[in-house]
Structure formats: C-alpha cells, structure tokens
Structure 1
Amino acid sequence: MPELRVTPGRYRGRTCLYVTLPGGRAAAWYDRESGQVSLVLDEYRAEVLAALAPYLTGEPAVGPPPVPTPAELALLTLHPDDDLAPNRPGEALHATLAAIPASRFRRAPRRAALTALTAQEVLGAELDTLEGAGWRVLHAVPLPGGGYIGHLLIGPAGVLSVRTLYAGKRRVRIADPLVTTGRGQPEPQLRWARHEAERASLALATAVRPVLGIVGAAGVDPVRRGAAGRGGTGPRTAPGSAVLVRDGGQTGVRLLRDGEVGGLAGLGGVLKPADVDSLYATARDRRTWLRV
C-alpha cells in the first residue's frame, strides 16, 4: 500500500485536507465543513480513508469530486512541495532564526529577525480573517535571490503586496520614500514596497498595489510632499485610518496599521470570484515566482 501524504489547503474558500500519492499526484481531498471526501482516484479509496482516519469527524460522505474549474484543475496537479498555501506568516524568518546561532555575538541579528517575525505574525493573523470576505491570502512568497513578499492578498479589490514594519510602540514618520521609526535611521520602506509589488505584477501578469503594514505604532505622521525640510507634516493617522502616499507619478502605497485590516473586507469592484480563484491558483505555485 503506498504511503499517502495529507496536507492542509483551501478548496473554494474553505479549509480542506489534500491526500496525495508519494509522487505528488492528488488522490482525494476532505472538506471539513461538509464532511465530504472527494475521490479523484477511486482505486485508492481504502488507502485515502486510512490516511484521513485521524482527521475525520463522524462518518464522511465519499464520492467523486464536483466538476472542477480550470483553476482547481491546476491545483490538483500541483506538487505539495511547490504549494505556498500552507506557509505560515513569517515562514521565511523561521528558517532565518534557525540559522542564527544563539550567542552574545549574534544578539542583534536575532533581535531584528524576531521583531520582523512578530510583525508578520500579528499582521498575517489579521489578514487571514479576510478569507471569509472572498479574499485569498498567501504568506512568505519566495523571490529569486533570497527575498520574499511578506503577504500577498488576492480578492475583490484586486491584488495587494504587503510589506510589514514593526514599530514597537514608537511613532512612525513618513517622508516618501523614507520611513523613520522612533529615533532610528530612515529606511526607504515605500520604495521597497513598490519594488516587491512590481515583481509580483511581473509574475502574475496583473496589476499589484503595494501596501506597507505598520504593526505596534504609537502613531503615524505622513509628511506632505514638498513639506519635508520645512517641518511640515500631514495629519496624524488615528486607528482605523489609511493614507495613500504618492511620489510624483509613481504608484501610491497604502498604509495599513494593525487593527485596520477589517476595512479591506468592504472593498471590491476589481476582480470577480472566478478571477480571484484563477490568480490564487497561479500565485500559490512556487514556480510562478522563478521568473522575477
């Protein structure tokens, strides 16, 4: 009897478990909400039910799968090692922390990685709540050269590439493209966010809007264009607000603070559900990102 592999995933916006053969071919999936086991390979019925036994609640309904959409067909042929959907928020940083030895000489790199991980976990948990509003979320999307996109959102309002910044209860001052946290050194966070969105746009062949997610800020002070150097600033943001920062003709970057993510649920008018599913199927395939 072949040893089948059970991995978590999403099917039509619902949590499910995929059962695959050793070579990666899908044999079935189990929809936890409906209790339905959809068999792709009926000859492996007994093996599939044995693999799913620890996860079943009650007596499942077992039968052929519903007629799949083209996007679902693509997922059925996706090898588990190429599937980005199971990635946790901050997945790439877990590997980074494991590679840094715990010694007094490496305290600064470990502290930087831990704070970045905190930001991605906090914001990622909030972003995951959008799935009930028709959004699909991917975390730690790998890019060639060792980089990654912290979070990728695909939903009714389009595709958003989210970069995270941990503020640690300090004020954040923005003078596009620079972002200063407390008394730290300014960093071109908005430029980096735009660059990540551009790479995502190339990979997915669609428009991707950049977002800077700010976690744990005491406040955010955006500087009006042309006012930097004269001491002028724009209005300070309060919880629940969002600011669109622009630099000439460049793409605007949306600022999103933790606690504001729910506001994205009401946005729409860009992608239909079928388009969301199709783009999500493309984005969750690791091979999609090899060409950027």
Structure 2
Amino acid sequence: MSGLRVVPSRRQGRERLYVCADDGANVAWYDRETARVNLISEARRDDVLAVLAPFITGDVTVGPPPVPTPLELARLTLHPDDDLAPNRPGEALQIAVERDPGPARRLRADPRRRALEAEQAVGRVLDAFERAGWRTLHSVPLPGGARIHHLLIGPGGLYALHTLPARKQRVRVADPLVAAGRAEPAPLLRRVRAEASRASFALTAEVHPVLAVAGATSVEVRAASTDVRVIPDTELQALSRTGGVLKPADIEALHAMARDRHTWLHV
C-alpha cells in the first residue's frame, strides 16, 4: 500500500484532485482542465499515478508544477484584506444592510435592498463572461466613499459599469439627466463618467463608462451620449462579444492591478 489518498477540490472554478500522504501533506495534484499531473516529489511518481488511475481519462502530462508567472506570484503575495477579487456583486450594500437592517416594518421598501438586487442581477450576467476570457471585479472602493459597481476587463477593453435599479419602471435618458419611473431626473451620467475617469487614472488605461439599467420595462434615450453606453441588463451579453483590444496577458495584468486595494487609494 502506498498510503496515498485522493482528495477532490475546486479552486477558482477549476476541479483538482489532490494526492495526499498519511500526514495530510500534498504529494501531487491532477488538474482535469489542463490534463496534467503535477508532482511535488518525483520519487513518488509511480505511487501517484497508481492512485490516480481510476480518475484519469485520456492522455495526461506528468511532471513538476509549472513555475509561477510574475502575475501569479504577485497574486499569491497579496494580503487577503487588500484583494478585491472575492467581492460579491453589491458587496458594500450587502454589508451595510447586514449591519443595519432597519425597522422590521416599513411603509416603503428599503431602497438599499432594491439597489442590492439590481447589482446582484447585473453581476451574475458579468460573471458569466469569464468563459469568454473576461475578468470582473465588483464594488471597487474609491476614496471619499464612492465605488465602482462593476469593473469589467476583457478582450473588448475595460468598462466601468454603474447599475441603476429600475424594476418595472420606465427609464428616460437625456444626457446628463436620467429618470426612473416618477423620480425627478438627476445628472447620473456625470457620476458614471467620473467613476470611469477615476478608473482610467488608477489603471493608466482607457476605461469606458456604462450605465447598466436593471429590470426596466423600457429605456428611452432622448439625447444620446457620445461616450456613456446605456444598456438594459437584458442586453449586457453584447459586451462579451466585443474584442480586438486586449490580449490575454494584458487582461491578466490589468486584473492583477485592479484587484489590489492600494491601486485605488489616490484617485
């Protein structure tokens, strides 16, 4: 008996099978996506392949783990408190509601919950872009209490998205004014532009401003903006089909920079 056991795990959406010794130490792991068995100790190669045999399908590459790239090393050294990648859509609102849920009975629905639901709906759509090579960060904090609701980085460039909750309402846009339902028009597009401008400064790259309208019955653009895209949440998928701007290495480099909280401290 080799004394080895196989432990399945999922990390960042990837399925891996770890081979562990009796003391719990990792000896190797099998990455199904890359069809590679990574050996920490070459001396136990035969034992590792024997215990993994029932799980391996097709041809696999066997060898030592690949040397991490500079970006991977930077990510590994990033303190968890400074890493924005784990942020959920609407992270800041979620925390605010949990800390102060407000009275149990309200005459009107809590607007924070409506905004949270809208950011979560848009976030789910954007997170699905990962299969097409995109990276998304949510609730990116900016100095002064502001935040970027969603930062999208991918083949089509960079986008700073501001989510407008408009469930079952008609939205009217006349740059820079935006009105949802019976609410008074407000210069929301100025805020959307400002957030994208601050992101451009932080990342030293062009960031396109986007207003994502969540749950509206209709969106009427009376005076079209030349720079801010106004997109209903039902049409956000079109962004994932844009390309020709950033290469995979550029996407990962910008994502690594953007996920570091320190990047946003002086914008």
TM-score normalised by L of structure 1: 0.70
Is the counterpart of residue 245 in structure 1 residue 225 in structure 2? yes
Deviation track 1:20-62 (CA, whole Å, cap 9, x = no partner) reads xxxxxxxx999674587979xx79xxxxxxxxxxxxxx79x99
- Match of residue 50 from structure 2: none
Counting only pairs closer than 5 Å after superposition, residues 1-292 of structure 1 correspond to structure 2 as 10=12, 15=14, 33=33, 64-103=64-103, 111-224=110-223, 245-246=225-226, 252-292=227-267
1:166 maps to a residue whose letter is P
Q: Tell whether the 8 Å contact from 1:9 to 1:86 is kept in structure 2 after alignment.
A: no
Greater shift after overlay, 260-269 or 117-126?
260-269
Question: Displacement of 1:98 after TM fit?
Answer: 2.1
Aligned counterparts of 1:153 and 1:30: Cα–Cα separation in 2:
31
**1:99, CA displacement in angstroms?**
3.0
Question: 1-side partners of 2:31 and 2:210: how far apart?
Answer: 33
Kindly indicate whether the alpha-carbon contact (under 8 Å) linking 1:150 and 1:163 is maintained by their aligned counterparts in 2: yes
- Per the alignment, residue 52 of structure 2 pairs with none
Distance 1:37 1:287 in 2: 36
Deviates more, 1:136-145 or 1:96-105: 96-105
Question: Where in structure 1 do 4 or more consecutive aligned residues deviate above 4 Å?
Answer: 14-17, 28-39, 61-64, 104-108
Distance 2:229 2:32 in 1: 36
Q: Distance in 2 between matches of 1:64 and 1:188?
A: 57
1:214, 1:123 → 2: CA distance? 9
| Structure 2 unmatched runs, 5+ | 1-9, 17-27, 42-54
Q: Which has the larger radius of gyration?
A: 2
Contact 1:163–1:193 under 8 Å retained in 2: yes
State how far apart, in whole Å, the 2-side matches of 1:220 and 1:272 are: 33
Per the alignment, do residues 30 and 123 of structure 1 end up closer, same or farther by CA in structure 2, a change over 3 Å counting?
farther
1:166-193 deviation digits (Å, cap 9, x = unpaired): 1111110001011011111112111111
Distance 1:269 1:152 in 2: 18
- AA partner of residue 112 (structure 1): P
Paired letter, 2:135: R
The count of aligned residue pairs is 232
User: What residue ranges of structure 1 are gaps of 5+ in the alignment?
Assistant: 1-7, 18-27, 44-57, 225-243, 247-251
Question: What's the secondary structure of 2:143's corresponding residue?
Answer: coil
CA distance in 1, matches of 2:127, 2:205: 22
Matches of 1:270 and 1:66 in 2, distance apart?
Answer: 28
Partners in 2 of 1:94 and 1:32 — Cα distance? 35
**CA 1:276/1:72 → structure 2, altered by over 3 Å: closer, same or farther?**
same
Gap change, CA 1:201 and 1:291, over 3 Å in 2: same
**CA distance in structure 2 between the partners assigned to 1:275 and 1:175 by the alignment:** 35
CA RMSD of aligned residues (A): 3.0
- Contact 1:9–1:85 (CA<8 Å) still a contact in 2? no
- Please report the TM-score for the alignment, with normalisation by the length of structure 2: 0.77
Superposed CA deviations along residues 167-222 of structure 1, whole A, max 9, x for unmatched, are 11111000101101111111211111101101111111111010000011111111
